Structure 1
């Protein structure tokens, strides 16, 4: 893969419609919008480098930056983060569950945390947009707990033996978790 690497001096006098910092997961949504809506150029600035999959496997790392140098951990749980082309997507398992409608009202419902200034319904169409962009594979039965205005773009993955047993025992409470891994060609 040939990358378009440039120095700051090489682009100092160039014009871009949008400049995106980082090539990680969140940035891809901004880049998607820029590509769909803007007639111009986008610049993505990435701190880290690109490492092909074979090199990542050979060296057992996907960045020259140690993971523990990318964040301040105040707890015992280690977090995986990557400084490099693709950012955190390099260590993401691709599970894409939505928040439950009750998650937005934790203080008023359960007396803990804080309520959000908006509710599930205000975000639902944006969940659908994100799931469409990401080609999410998901279980349509989840709509019984997490209301939907659009179906998942792709059908769910085949469940494990445990999933099949759990779904048979509790069909209204067990679902194949939505994922950003395609279950079919689209």
Structure 2
């Protein structure tokens, strides 16, 4: 050795090599078009979710929330269900020709929007619209909600309901609502 030169440990090259490997591992899935796909999945992945056969549509109902109202003070059942909805896409929410199919342990009911009075309907639900959203009110069993005709029976703790909402142009959205196992002293419960 001549003078005061030291030998280098190569640590700086090792750090650069590790950074290069991390970058390659992070970028490779996107380069090969696998970004967002779990390539580690096992089993039959072809039957997981059906692929839409028609052209993509940006219209449809989105259910934002659903609540059930009890009598409170240890109420044992839900008598009013309120569902908040909106519409995807640029068009406004048209609830005038909307229908609902309500299926619970007590039966199946076809319901119409107020004033529609479709023949063969089992009842109606109320609609209150504001700011691109609508609140649909379903009155179950006895008359618990003003200006809404009641149908069916009240929901007990732990019961489930399948609710399908269909727009006038035939778009249908279905959701399963589940009443909590214990209603407690709450006047409103999340479904």
What is the TM-score of this pair, normalised by structure 1?
Answer: 0.22
Structure with higher helix content: 1
Q: Which structure exhibits the higher relative contact order, with contacts defined as CA atoms closer than 8 Å and separated by 6 or more residues?
A: 2
Higher Cα Rg: structure 1 or 2? 2
More strand by share: 2
Provide TM-score, normalisation by structure 2.
Answer: 0.21
